[in-house]
Amino acid sequence: MLRILTETDGVSGNEKAVRDIIFAEVSSFCSETKIDSMGNLICFKKGRKGGKTVLLSAHMDEVGFIITKITDDGFLKFETVGGVDSKILLSQMVRKGDLKGIISLKAVHLLTKEEREKAFSESDLFIDIGAKSKEEAEKVVSVGDYFAFDSEYLSQRDMIKAKALDDRVGCAVLIDALKKEWDANLICTFVTQEEVGLRGAKAAVYGLKPDFAIVVEGTSCNNMPGIPEEKRVTNFDGGVAVSIMDMGSVANRDLVSKITAIADENKINWQYKASVKGGNDAGAISISEGGIKTASLSVPCKYIHSGVSAMNKNDYLSCKELIEKIIENAEEI
């Protein structure tokens, strides 16, 4: 399922293909499903005993590109959708369905001395699809079309490489949770437009009123050469990451304490996310409906927001196991 999800394109605002896959996979396991006007997929699963209601949330969208202009000679100008570092873009392959393109720049031997010494910006780049003219390009591309990183899923040793691990890892965890039977009531929201301002989550939780919420995410992981230990945020193969605070939310401390106690009791490998930078849908969910008790659990991902994100399989499994233990113990949380 993770392979299918990551190899499907769903740049923010264009998540339908991802949503269709998730809906087909989980609808038969749910008591009720609905798709709201923001494109969020909201799934309800009635518990065997009722009682508390657990909300799990993951976002379907990924970072990518939107076409802003087609030049007279058939090249595509673009802007990034979501937080993408322009330094990683040069020579990247991108796609719109079966149409492939290369992000490029004027060749180095054609640059002036001043141009070679200056860092390039996103505005200098273009996508080359092999068109000879604007008219030829317009047969297959329009302004406003989305492109995604062109990247294949790779499993090697304990590592998985793919695009969009942020946040298809969360979507995969929620899918597995919906396929199981629980005593507690479960609501899973697969939301849109997280990468451009947590927009889907703001609408998705309206009227749900869960007892508590867990946002399941992919987060940054920087344990690599040249990064001091205190700046590594999370460690690869360090277990599921538990957030305390970020730029958009402060996790409910009582909820965090109970989650980490469950992890310890069940010998699940976990770590704190050692940074308050960044943010996720907890920033929207925690302040909705008069306030919802919210925490975030994340899978550490190297090279996040690129076409070659990488995660450790053990970190993914520890996230999945902890989520399941939380649902099992919902009445004590």
Task: State how far the Cα of 188 lies from the Cα of 178, in Å rounded to an integer.
Answer: 8
Active-site option among 194, 195, 217, 321: 194
Task: State how far the Cα of 80 lies from the Cα of 65, in Å rounded to an integer.
Answer: 4
Residues 6+ apart with CB under 8 A from 23: 33, 35, 41
- SS3 for 33-83 is EEECCCCCEEEEECCCCCCCEEEEEEECCECEEEEEEECCCCCEEEEEECC
Measured between alpha carbons, how far is residue 13 from residues 147, 200, 277 in Å? 12, 9, 24
Supply the DSSP string of 159-208, one letter for each residue: EEEES-HHHHHHHHHHHHHHTS--SSEEEEEEES-GGGTSHHHHHHTTTT
Query: Phi/psi at 63 (nearest 5 deg)?
Result: -70, 160
Beta strand pairing call for 240-242 and 185-191: unpaired
Q: Could you confirm whether 194 is annotated as catalytic? A: yes
Residues 6+ apart with CB under 8 A from 155: 313
Active site residues: 194
